[in-house]
């Protein structure tokens, strides 16, 4: 069943005549085509994609199973939408209430003669479970990032700055086929490594520091996300103890991850390890988040995640311990829920590396 057909099946279940997709990631999921403009409208028996002259040639080449139309000054997106709604006798149309601003919703109400009904849940449901093609794209992105990481390990040395390491990761991910960063790399050293989302700067890497690198690239539109913490020159007993605790917590969470598990159950398995080791107050975020076309998607695995994770869900596995004023450790893999358990699609080494 194609993605368009899957959407159409859910339209019937939700009592909708059509769904309008303006969010670029939802559009790409439905059409397989990336653009910064245009809209997709999927009705129960027909599907349309409308875009301007910048993308129309590529859209017509790459999109199948949909009517592809060009918007112009005379045939604007608004006119296209009104015509499709009339021609297809659409009276109830779903829209992405979480992706659109209030102004965009108001404009849509002015432009649409059909009843507007919030329907973001349709796309969330479909995108939560990745198919085999999506999994291969995710793996490809992981392999690129891991190759870059392996090379960067060979050049990190005392005296380099956080920004230099971030630049080297970015350069190598692009060199090996990445289409861009999944997010700006987080590279923090020394006391800054206690900041989970610290920003790389001109801080110099020094002997005895922890260096945390959180990075990822995009391949075929899909994101990778990896974090590794390494030590520079040496590691104290406390540093080794914290690292070992985080690794054990991650492995416990991964072991608990399976289709049908609640997100909070996976989080709890990892959190229990950190709490028993006496560091519970220093693990302030969730175990993981879903990722795919976006680096942060739903569902996730956090203390508040009460959703059962379905087969095909992809989530990060990234517990951490952050000691303010001292250092922090985070280890992150990406896992795919399947066959009563999960597959770890990250292959980068996780033992403590001392450079």
Tens-digit pLDDT profile for residues 76-91: 999 999 999 999 999 9
Q: Three-state SS for 202?
A: coil
CATH topology for the 3-128 domain: Creatine Amidinohydrolase; Chain A, domain 1 (3.40.350)
Q: Three-state SS for 328?
A: strand
Residue identified by tokens 């303006």 is: 22
Respond yes or no on whether the N-terminal peptide bond of residue 105 is cis (omega within 30° of 0): no
The CATH class of 132-344 is alpha beta
> What pTM, to 2 d.p., does this model score?
0.94
Q: How confident is the model at residue 37 (pLDDT cuts 50, 70, 90)?
A: very high
Closest residue by Cα to residue 3 from 95, 123, 121, 148 = 123
Percent of the chain with pLDDT over 70: 100
Q: Report the C-alpha dihedral over residues 115, 121, 126, 128, rounded to 10 degrees.
A: 160
What average pLDDT score do residues 242-261 get?
A: 98
- How many other CB atoms are there within 10 angstroms of residue 15's CB atom? 9
**Encoded tokens for 111:** 């432009």
Delimit the domains of the chain by residue range.
3-128, 132-344
- How many other CB atoms are there within 10 angstroms of residue 156's CB atom? 19
Tens-digit pLDDT profile for residues 102-151: 888 888 887 777 889 999 999 999 999 999 999 999 999 999 999 999 99
């Amino acid at each position: 069943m194609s993605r368009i057909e899957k959407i159409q099946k859910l339209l019937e279940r939700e009592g909708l005549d059509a769904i309008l997709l303006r969010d670029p990631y939802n559009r790409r999921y439905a059409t397989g085509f990336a653009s910064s403009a245009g809209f997709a409208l999927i009705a129960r028996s027909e599907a349309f994609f409308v875009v301007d002259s910048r993308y129309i040639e590529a859209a017509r080449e790459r999109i199948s199973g949909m009517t592809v139309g060009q918007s112009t000054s005379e045939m604007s997106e608004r006119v296209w939408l009104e015509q499709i709604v009339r021609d297809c006798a659409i009276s109830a149309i779903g829209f992405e209430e979480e992706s659109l601003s209030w102004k965009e919703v108001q404009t849509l109400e002015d432009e649409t003669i059909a009843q507007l009904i919030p329907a973001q849940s349709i796309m969330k449901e479909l995108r939560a479970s990745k198919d085999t093609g999506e999994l291969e794209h995710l793996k490809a992105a992981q392999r690129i990032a891991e190759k870059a990481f392996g090379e960067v390990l060979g050049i990190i040395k005392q005296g380099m700055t956080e920004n230099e390491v971030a630049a080297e990761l970015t350069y190598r991910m692009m060199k090996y086929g990445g289409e861009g960063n999944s997010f700006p790399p987080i590279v923090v050293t020394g006391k800054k490594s206690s900041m989970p989302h610290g920003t790389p700067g001109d801080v110099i890497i020094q002997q005895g520091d922890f260096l945390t690198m959180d990075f990822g690239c995009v391949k075929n539109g899909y994101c990778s996300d990896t974090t590794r913490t390494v030590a520079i020159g040496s590691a104290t007993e406390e540093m080794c103890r914290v690292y070992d605790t985080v690794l054990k917590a991650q492995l416990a969470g991964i072991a608990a991850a399976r289709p049908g598990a609640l997100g909070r159950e996976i989080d709890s398995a990892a959190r229990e390890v950190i709490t028993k080791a006496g560091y519970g107050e220093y693990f302030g975020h969730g175990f993981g988040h879903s990722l795919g076309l976006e680096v942060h998607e739903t569902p996730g695995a956090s203390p508040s995640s009460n959703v059962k994770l379905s087969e095909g869900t992809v989530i990060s596995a990234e517990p951490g311990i952050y000691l303010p004023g001292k250092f922090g450790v985070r280890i992150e893999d990406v896992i795919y829920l399947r066959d009563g358990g999960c597959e770890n699609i990250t292959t980068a080494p996780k033992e403590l590396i001392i450079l």
